[in-house]
Amino acid sequence: MNKAKILIIEDDAPIADLLSYGLSLEGYQTRIASNGADGIQAIQSFQPDLLLLDWMLPDQSGLDICKKVTADYNIPIFMITAKSDITDKVLGLEFGADDYITKPFDLREVIARIRTILRRLEQSNHKDQNESYADVIRVNHIEIRPDERLVSKNNQSMELTPKEYDLLMTLVKNPGRTFSRSDLLDVVWGYHFSGDTRTVDTHIQRLRKKLDMTDEIVTVFGIGYKLKKTGD
């Protein structure tokens, strides 16, 4: 993704400036917001390709922002926080974050992870544009337009996060195939989150709820999930 725009929502000015400086050197466009309210406004005006979000902000929790962004926008979220407990990490992922790193951090690792997120998003978009899909993929009441990454339910447009969309497409492209949770982490997220697979369950639950696909996305007990084949 060439010259991607990254919005940094971080109230610690030295950390925000360090992130902005390091990312600018890598060719990214950056903007800084020091609180949640300014961050939400900047999302609308700056239209970032990725959100770098601190968990603890002066006016609201980063989790609340993560939840709002996940519901209203199609922007990958990378959370940076002082919270290091695995429960907090999983909670951030369950609220829609794509990745998570704790303070103190190595700027090189942050940049490497951002590259990974943006590269996978670009590859996914490129793949959708070049694979020979029908104009519309239909799964019962769901319609998917891969060339636009659009999903609708009963002709109503649905907002999915990048990970929710990628997870849906992974299942849709492989009807009847059972994926373990680890398989889905590898395919959709690109690597394991400390071996924890609960974020997969949470994303599956979200897809089922958003798209009314409880009957279509089937739990394979003790293994993982699959998309039911037509006629099963």
Answer with the one of 73, 98, 125 that is the final residue of a domain.
125
Distance CA 108, CA 227 (A): 39
Mean pLDDT by 10 residues, the chain (232 residues): 85 95 94 95 94 92 87 85 70 77 89 85 60 73 88 89 87 93 82 63 89 94 90 58
Same domain, 15 and 103: yes
Same domain, 79 and 13: yes
Same domain, 106 and 218: no
Same domain, 103 and 33: yes
Same domain, 121 and 183: no
* Residue 109 buriedness (CB in 10 A; 0-12 / 13-18 / 19+): exposed
Instruction: Kindly state whether residue 40 falls inside one of the protein's structural domains.
Output: yes
* Residue 132 buriedness (CB in 10 A; 0-12 / 13-18 / 19+): exposed
Same domain, 107 and 186: no
| DSSP-derived pairing of the beta strands 29-33 and 179-180 | unpaired
Instruction: Kindly state whether residue 99 falls inside one of the protein's structural domains.
Output: yes
Same domain, 15 and 108: yes
Give the domain CATH number at 29.
Answer: 3.40.50.2300
Instruction: Kindly state whether residue 26 falls inside one of the protein's structural domains.
Output: yes
Distances in Å between the alpha carbon of 192 and those of 27, 41, 63, 91, 208? 28, 33, 21, 16, 23
Same domain, 105 and 173: no
Instruction: Kindly state whether residue 103 falls inside one of the protein's structural domains.
Output: yes
Domain count, the chain: 2
**Closest CA relative to residue 5, chosen from 41, 30, 40:** 30
pLDDT value at residue 191: 58
| DSSP-derived pairing of the beta strands 224-227 and 217-220 | antiparallel
Instruction: Kindly state whether residue 100 falls inside one of the protein's structural domains.
Output: yes
Same domain, 113 and 9: yes
pLDDT value at residue 129: 52
Instruction: Kindly state whether residue 155 falls inside one of the protein's structural domains.
Output: no
Instruction: Kindly state whether residue 232 falls inside one of the protein's structural domains.
Output: no
Same domain, 113 and 22: yes
Reported pTM? 0.67
The parent domain of residue 45 ranges over: 5-125
pLDDT value at residue 94: 72
Question: Half-sphere exposure (CA, 13 Å, Cβ side) for 166?
Answer: 24
pLDDT value at residue 131: 54
Same domain, 95 and 200: no
Distance CA 103, CA 83 (A): 8
Instruction: Kindly state whether residue 81 falls inside one of the protein's structural domains.
Output: yes
Q: How many residues does the chain have?
A: 232
Same domain, 120 and 172: no
pLDDT value at residue 32: 97
pLDDT value at residue 1: 46
